Amino acid sequence: MKAIKFFEMSTKELQDKLTELKAELFNLRFKHATNQLTNHMTMVECKRDIARVMTILRQRELGISFEPEKKKSKAKKSSK
């Protein structure tokens, strides 16, 4: 996944994604150990995505990067 997609996520979404990626990496390592993994680049991509997410979370902790602002829907108000 591209880093820009991660920057668009909220902190909660990033934490959930990190948990998901770590579980995926565990499964990929297990498949690799049992010779069931056909594409070894998936492990590399998963590790890089984990690093991207952790970097963005750390940047937000330090105040270097900020959580994206939520888009406010412009509701039409009827005046009566």
Architecture of domain 3-62: Orthogonal Bundle (1.10)
What confidence tens digit (pLDDT) does each residue in 7-65 have?
A: 889 999 999 999 999 999 999 999 999 999 999 999 999 999 999 999 999 999 998 87
CA-atom Rg of the chain in angstroms: 18
The model carries a pTM of 0.79
Evaluated on CA atoms 47, 53, 55, 58, the torsion sign reads negative
Please tell me the distance from the alpha carbon of residue 10 to that of residue 32, in angstroms, as a whole number.
Answer: 32
